[in-house]
């Protein structure tokens, strides 16, 4: 799990969200407000807006929900199953109340797999 993970706010400009995704090499960016995840923005959605010359929007304009969540004590195999079944490349690690503590990515799973 990465305790520090990239995220944005609903009012984050799409161009900034795209830069954050590129800098952090992620395809999905959680949208956080009041320590809760509202959903995520996808690089494909931003790319579609870019192609249509409509990159002036905000994350709230293209937010998708929900982003899958697991708890800190969830076994890695279970988190991988959730990721696979939902088709997401990111799973949030949250408290039972839904407060994000970190994120688990495909890259994290590959690192754990190599270490085993």
Provide the domain limits for residue 106.
Answer: 14-115
Is 9 contained in some domain?
no
Residue 1's pLDDT is what? 67
Residue 31 in domain: yes
Residue (of 95, 98, 115) closest to 107 by Cα position? 115
User: How sure is the predictor about 116, in pLDDT bands with cuts at 50, 70 and 90?
Assistant: low
Percent of the chain surpassing pLDDT 70: 97
- Could you tell me which residues come within 8 angstroms of residue 81 by beta carbon, excluding any fewer than 6 positions away? none
pLDDT at 114 over 80: no
Q: Is residue 5's pLDDT more than 80?
A: yes
Whether 4 is in a domain gets the answer: no
Residue 101 included in any domain: yes
Residue 17 confidence (pLDDT) above 90: yes
Residue 6 belongs to a domain: no
- Judge whether 1 lies within some domain: no
The CA distances from residue 114 to 43, 107, 111, in Å, are: 27, 11, 5
What CATH number has the domain bearing residue 29?
A: 3.10.580.10
User: pLDDT for 29-82, tens place per residue?
Assistant: 999 999 899 999 999 999 888 888 777 889 999 998 888 999 999 999 999 999
Q: What's the whole-number average pLDDT of the chain? A: 89
Q: How far apart are CA 51 and CA 77, in angstroms?
A: 38
With H, G, I as helix, E, B as strand and everything else as coil, classify residue 37.
strand
Q: How many domains does the chain have?
A: 1
**Which residue blocks in 54-102 are alpha helix, DSSP H?**
59-62, 76-86
User: Cβ(32)–Cβ(8) under 8 Å?
Assistant: yes
Residue corresponding to tokens 């690192």: 111
In a domain, 5, yes or no: no
* pTM (predicted TM-score): 0.80
Strands 28-33 vs 36-42: parallel, antiparallel or unpaired: antiparallel
């Amino acid at each position: 799990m990465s305790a520090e993970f990239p995220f944005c706010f609903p009012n984050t400009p799409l161009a900034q969200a795209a830069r954050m995704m590129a800098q952090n090499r992620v395809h999905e960016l959680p949208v956080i407000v009041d320590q809760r995840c509202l959903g995520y923005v996808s690089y494909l959605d931003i790319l579609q807006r870019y192609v249509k010359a409509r990159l002036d929007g905000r994350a709230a304009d293209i937010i998708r929900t929900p982003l899958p969540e697991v708890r800190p004590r969830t076994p890695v195999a279970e988190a991988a199953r959730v990721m696979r079944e939902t088709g997401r490349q990111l799973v949030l690690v949250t408290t039972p109340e839904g407060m994000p503590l970190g994120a688990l990515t495909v890259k994290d799973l590959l690192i754990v797999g190599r270490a085993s």
